[in-house]
Structure 1
Amino acid sequence: MSRVAYVNGTYSPRDEAVVHIEDRGFQFADGVYEVWSVFDGRLADFDGHMQRLHRSLNELKIEIPMTAAALGVVLRETVRRNRVRDGIVYLQVTRGTAPRDHAFPADVAPSVIVTAKRIDLSKGDRTAVNGAAGVTQPDIRWGRCDIKTVGLLPNVLAKQAARERGAYECLMYDEMGLVTEGSSTNAWIVDENGKLRTRDTQANILRGVTRAAILKLVEAEGVELDERAFSVEEAKKAREVFVTAASSFVMPLVSLDGVKIGDGKPGPIATRLREIYLEQARREAI
């Protein structure tokens, strides 16, 4: 069956779905996006992603295109038409189409694009069992990484650097050598003292929805948490390093720039958090 995309009110075969050449997402990266995990045809962390979508749109002064309920219908219908049981659904909202000019156009309706695809979740499970490799490089992104924009070129370059070095993820660090985020993930360590650490969202990082869900699970599990930045060197000396995201859930990193983390195997905290996150996400998906 051919895949189906939703574009501005119409469901079309994906290969026939188009946006205008003057869509501002294409010309200026003037738009935002969200990605929901799909379990058994249902959306995980629906409200968290929707709240972050609204925040991103408000920060960029892009009109909210439809109610959360209506958008939920579109997301689920796209999932249904693509017969996705386990996978992801991707939403992109741009400022819309207008003659090219840097300033915001007046009276322009936002563009809304939704796609969905299947993912073999067992592949990620196999990677998590053995752990993945990570690399590091300087963070060259702009100053508003808290907004989930489609302007992802620095992230793309970081992810490509990881691929070229045979790694799963690239952790980026600021001018002080402190880890900010992964190219498409939030970063965590269990430090030398056994304390779980992740950078606080007052810094220039994305307010990860999976990150927020993990924080609640950490509290329920009674794990000692410190929302405080850590350096690349601290990460390399840590007992555990892992990353979180809607598409990778909780993924242990067992090496960083070729340096073995801990005993070189996924640690107990990352392993436990992945297990209980997946249980909760599947149970509460709607």
Structure 2
Amino acid sequence: MYIFVNGKIIDSGSPAIKVFDRGMVFGDGLYDVIKFQDGNFVFLEEHIERMKKSANFFGIKFPYTLDEICSIGHKLAMMNDLKEGELYLQLTRGVDVIRDHIFEDDYDPTFVEIVQPVRKMDPSIWTEGGKVLTYPDLRHQFCEHKTTDLLPNVIAKKYVRSKGAYEALMFREENGRKYITEGASSSYIFFDGEKIIAPKIENILPGITRSKVLYVARETGIEVVERRIWLDELPQMKEVMLLSTLSKVLSIVKVDEMEFKKGEVAKKLENAFKDLVISTLVKM
């Protein structure tokens, strides 16, 4: 597989990242994943803008323009003979002379671009619906940024997969009551029979798929409310939906031992989101 690292296209098996890269030793970096199909990126500009905002927040230089990233991605897709897949971007602060927590004010950032096949999903999940398990949210206070510091997410995902579930539904606790945040690599929304309820953005990622699905929900006349959702409210919900770049709009039929139906709202949003993607594809 061919990948792009710091201005060069190389084989993925070649040495590329230096030992003292701060992304490797401290998780001092950002990443994003963008779907592409038929030679087109999906919501590329929105993903890049979010990444740029996070880079600015952390004081990391952003070395490439939207057009340059697009051009590199196109070339990688051609070289790897892929018409559909995922574009992975990774940006770290750069390389230290020695390992040291304190960082300087001026680094040459490390930028990686990878085009790979779409990760496999069990096809039955689309017909039968997904199952998730609740899991404590053990992450840091920078979850509104897509950082490479993902160990708690990895552990959560590994745990639920070992139990036969598709994803974690993570929660935090306040004054003895638990509230829902997001998944290890996804967002959630809920339908209570009248409106869509989405966890408000409070130290959770403002997902691109999430924002687009909430947009099409409003466009189709469904009321949307963004607020804190308490875990003990789940039995009152009629539908549970998982959102992500990979999963798009996925009906969840079981949360722990609570069962839900694959509903018409999820199907409606799935179709509306699909139409939006087709209408807004950005040419590579």
Residue in 1 that maps onto 2:11? 13
Percent identity between the two aligned chains: 31
1:277 equivalent in alignment to 2:276: no
Residue in 2 that maps onto 1:100? 99
> Which of 71, 74, 81 is 1:73 aligned to?
71
Residue in 2 that maps onto 1:27? 25
Structure 1: give runs of 5+ residues left out of the alignment: none
d(CA) in 2 for partners of 1:64, 1:205: 23
d(CA) in 2 for partners of 1:138, 1:40: 38
d(CA) in 1 for partners of 2:141, 2:107: 27
Report the alpha carbon displacement of residue 107 of structure 1 after superposing the two structures with TM: 3.2
d(CA) in 2 for partners of 1:112, 1:129: 39
d(CA) in 2 for partners of 1:28, 1:118: 28
Report the alpha carbon displacement of residue 125 of structure 1 after superposing the two structures with TM: 5.8
* Greater mean alpha carbon deviation, residues 46-55 or residues 77-86: 77-86
Residue in 2 that maps onto 1:117? 116
Report Cα offsets for 1:201-260 as digits up to 9, x if no partner. Answer: 2x1110101111112101110011111121222224311111111121111110001221
Q: CA RMSD in A?
A: 1.6
State whether residues 253 and 266 of structure 1, in contact with CA within 8 Å, keep that contact through their aligned partners in structure 2.
Answer: yes
> Which of 62, 65, 68 is 1:64 aligned to?
62
State whether residues 128 and 266 of structure 1, in contact with CA within 8 Å, keep that contact through their aligned partners in structure 2.
Answer: no
State whether residues 90 and 115 of structure 1, in contact with CA within 8 Å, keep that contact through their aligned partners in structure 2.
Answer: yes
Letter in 2 for 1:107: D
Distance verdict in 2 for CA 1:120–1:186, change over 3 Å: closer
Distance verdict in 2 for CA 1:38–1:27, change over 3 Å: same
Report Cα offsets for 1:75-106 as digits up to 9, x if no partner. Answer: 22222222222221100000011121111234
Letter in 1 for 2:272: I
Letter in 1 for 2:52: H
Report the alpha carbon displacement of residue 124 of structure 1 after superposing the two structures with TM: 6.3
Letter in 1 for 2:229: F
Report the alpha carbon displacement of residue 120 of structure 1 after superposing the two structures with TM: 7.1
State whether residues 124 and 248 of structure 1, in contact with CA within 8 Å, keep that contact through their aligned partners in structure 2.
Answer: no
SS at match of 1:174: strand
Report the alpha carbon displacement of residue 48 of structure 1 after superposing the two structures with TM: 0.8
- TM superposition score normalised by structure 1: 0.92
After superposition, residues 1-286 of structure 1 pair within 5 angstroms as 3-98=1-96, 99-119=98-118, 123=121, 126-176=124-174, 177-191=178-192, 193-201=193-201, 203-261=202-260, 265-286=261-282
d(CA) in 2 for partners of 1:163, 1:279: 31
Distance verdict in 2 for CA 1:83–1:283, change over 3 Å: farther
d(CA) in 2 for partners of 1:81, 1:148: 28
SS at match of 2:116: strand
Letter in 2 for 1:281: V
d(CA) in 1 for partners of 2:169, 2:238: 17
SS at match of 2:103: coil
- TM superposition score normalised by structure 2: 0.93
Report Cα offsets for 1:6-57 as digits up to 9, x if no partner. Answer: 1111111212252111111000000000110111121101111011010110
State whether residues 138 and 172 of structure 1, in contact with CA within 8 Å, keep that contact through their aligned partners in structure 2.
Answer: yes
* Greater mean alpha carbon deviation, residues 94-103 or residues 73-82: 73-82
d(CA) in 2 for partners of 1:258, 1:53: 37
Report the alpha carbon displacement of residue 283 of structure 1 after superposing the two structures with TM: 3.1
Letter in 1 for 2:227: R
State whether residues 86 and 120 of structure 1, in contact with CA within 8 Å, keep that contact through their aligned partners in structure 2.
Answer: no
State whether residues 59 and 147 of structure 1, in contact with CA within 8 Å, keep that contact through their aligned partners in structure 2.
Answer: no
d(CA) in 2 for partners of 1:218, 1:77: 35
Structure 2: give runs of 5+ residues left out of the alignment: none
Report Cα offsets for 1:162-190 as digits up to 9, x if no partner. Answer: 10110011011111311001111111111
d(CA) in 1 for partners of 2:118, 2:168: 22
d(CA) in 2 for partners of 1:258, 1:114: 40
Report the alpha carbon displacement of residue 198 of structure 1 after superposing the two structures with TM: 0.4
